[in-house]
Amino acid sequence: MVESVRRAVLAGDVQATGAALADAVGSSGRLLGSEGTLSALDRVRAELKGLGPLEHLLAQESTTDILVNGPSDVWVDGAAGLQRVGSVFAGDSEVRALAVRLVAAGGRRLDDGNPAVDVRLDGLRIHAVLPPISTTGTLLSIRIRRPLQFSLPELVDRGTVAPMMAEALTLMMRRRLNFLISGATGTGKTTLLSTLLGLAGPRERVVLVEDAAELDPAHPHTVGLQSRHGNLEGAGVLDLTELVRQALRMRPDRLVVGECRGAEVRELLAAMNTGHDGGGGTVHANSADAVPARLAALAALAGLSPEALALQAASALDVVVHVVRDVRGRRVESIGLLELGPGSGLLVRPVLVDTGGQCRRASGWDDFALRVGRSGDGP
């Protein structure tokens, strides 16, 4: 019944209004009763305007990602971790129809000539891939932006940040050190960055540059810039590199790049090296020690040699905060100083390390304490 109503709307026989949909459901010939009719209406609306058969997963507040590997292979990520929810779609044609509709709603086209597309749509970041690029049928990856704000004490209570690290991070923000938050996908980099930006002084102007707007700091003076994909003809692109340049004209007290993953790292480092302190961002890396190599790879996209990157990064960046997700949940694993090492390369010297629930000082503690204006015995 739901499918027949959906086809009627797409064919133009039924308008996609509440009254018209209700009439179509009521005239379907099924004896549904009032409750059944309301349930069917919800399903039809979801098919036409929402996430279709996935809408009920979106309604769960803890859901952060919905991953469709096939009609009967759907996963969700949330508070309980990655879990399989089983069969949701009747077949791959239903998955493809949903993917095409969502991408079209985002102003782009998904078809055999353009089989891999990502769009932003009402707080969702949607990526779709069609066969034969996908070997298992139509794929959908949906990232859900949840407007949640956590204070640093709340992250301490949740076990995300050890108390000693929380005080060190507070001092880092107060002294306006430049920092990067590193970690793998889904470790909570964006959440932690939003929390730290909430510690910025209320009279400071924070300018955010993001590929997709996800940062939501509890701060009174925040403005954001979001990149833009090209239209169907490929025109109108605004990438992060250009947005960083634009942000520098907006009198930022703190310049923040939500995720450094390309040539924009050159512009960010240049800004930090010309007096824009207190800035930050995130970067994908599986360990704090892997951050120098990751930065070198990004800098290569901007035409910077490893030597030039090392010199710029060592003078621009102060702190690397690494987050992980393991059996203990999402947590800050280490705080370190980014420095020049032997052979003019970069290294991250640990300051504080969380090992099995115990936070200990490491070799970089005294230098960090000096930078934030504390004695070696604190915090």
Looking at residue 98, its pLDDT comes to: 92
CA torsion angle for 201, 203, 204, 206 (degrees, to 10)? 100
- The average pLDDT across 96-100 equals 93
- DSSP result, 160-205: SS-HHHHHHHHHHHHTT--EEEEE-TTSSHHHHHHHHHTTS-TTS-
Number of domains in the chain: 3
- pLDDT level of residue 11 (50, 70, 90 thresholds): very low
Domain identity same for 295 and 361 = yes
Structure tokens given for 360: 């200990």
Q: 34 with 62, same domain?
A: no
| Residue 9: count of CB within 10 angstroms of its CB | 18
Q: Which long-range contacts (CB under 8 A, 24 or more apart) does 24-29 make?
A: 25/1, 28/1, 28/4
Compute the C-alpha angle 79/326/265, nearest 5°: 95
In a shared domain, residues 79 and 28? no
Q: β-strands 346-355, 329-340: how paired? A: antiparallel
Q: Output 2 or 151, whichever has higher pLDDT.
A: 151
List pLDDT tens digits, range 305-319.
999 999 999 999 999
The token duo for 205 is 């102007």
Provide the pLDDT confidence category of residue 9 given band limits of 50, 70 and 90: very low
Q: How many CA atoms lie within 13 A of 185 on its CB side?
A: 6
274 and 355 inside one domain: yes
Domain boundary among 145, 166, 183: 145
Domain boundary among 145, 179, 212: 145
pLDDT value, residue 319: 98
Note whether 2 and 105 are same-domain residues.
no
Higher pLDDT, 295 or 186: 295
SS3 assignment, position 82: strand
Q: Point out the least confidently predicted range of 146-155, 280-289, 368-377.
A: 368-377
Range of the domain at 62: 56-145
> Is residue 281 located within the same domain as residue 158?
yes
Question: From residue 47, how far is each of 50, 73, 77 by CA, in Å?
Answer: 6, 19, 22
Quote the DSSP letter at residue 220.
S
Considering only 137-146, 173-182, 230-239, which range has the smallest mean pLDDT?
Answer: 230-239
